[in-house]
Amino acid sequence: MKMYAIAVAALVVASSARAEEAFSLVGTWTGPRERISKVDGWRAGDATLVVTEQKGRTFTGYLDRTNPAGDVKENLWGAFTPNGRLMMASDEEGFYSFDLIDNNTLDYCYSEAGSSPRTVCATLARKR
């Protein structure tokens, strides 16, 4: 029985490692977003997340968002736990949290604190 448990544990670890290797965020993700801010109030618009590079469980890219004063592009850097159960990123002002719904759907929320706090959430679909 002990040998069977060891074999099952090894299979689970190997399976988990293969799933982690196959998991990729690289690509272009787009969708509508909604934001609330202390200074500007409520606003809606589009967001595009471009993940340009992934190494293991870390990634980098940028987020483009529509804005009445013009589009804004912000670089971000992130990481995730095995299989993407917990995903975080940051830019120069705030923090992102992500939830991978499926291979082509990603929810995210972003938050900034300070004298002009704001929070935004969106559902993004990966372009193919």
Domains and CATH numbers, the chain: 24-126 (2.40.128.20)
Residue 11 has what pLDDT? Answer: 35
pTM score of the predicted model = 0.79
DSSP states of the chain: -HHHHHHHHHHHHHHHHHHHHH----EEEEEEEEEEETTTEEEEEEEEEEEEEEETTEEEEEEEE--TT--EEEEEEEEE-GGGSSEEEE-SS-EEEEEEEETTEEEEEEEE-SSS-EEEEEEEEE--
Give pLDDT tens digits for 3-32: 444 433 433 333 344 344 568 999 999 999
| pLDDT confidence of residue 22 | 60
Q: Residues 114-127: pLDDT tens digits?
A: 999 999 999 999 99
What does the pLDDT look like over 51-63, one tens digit per residue? Answer: 999 999 999 999 9
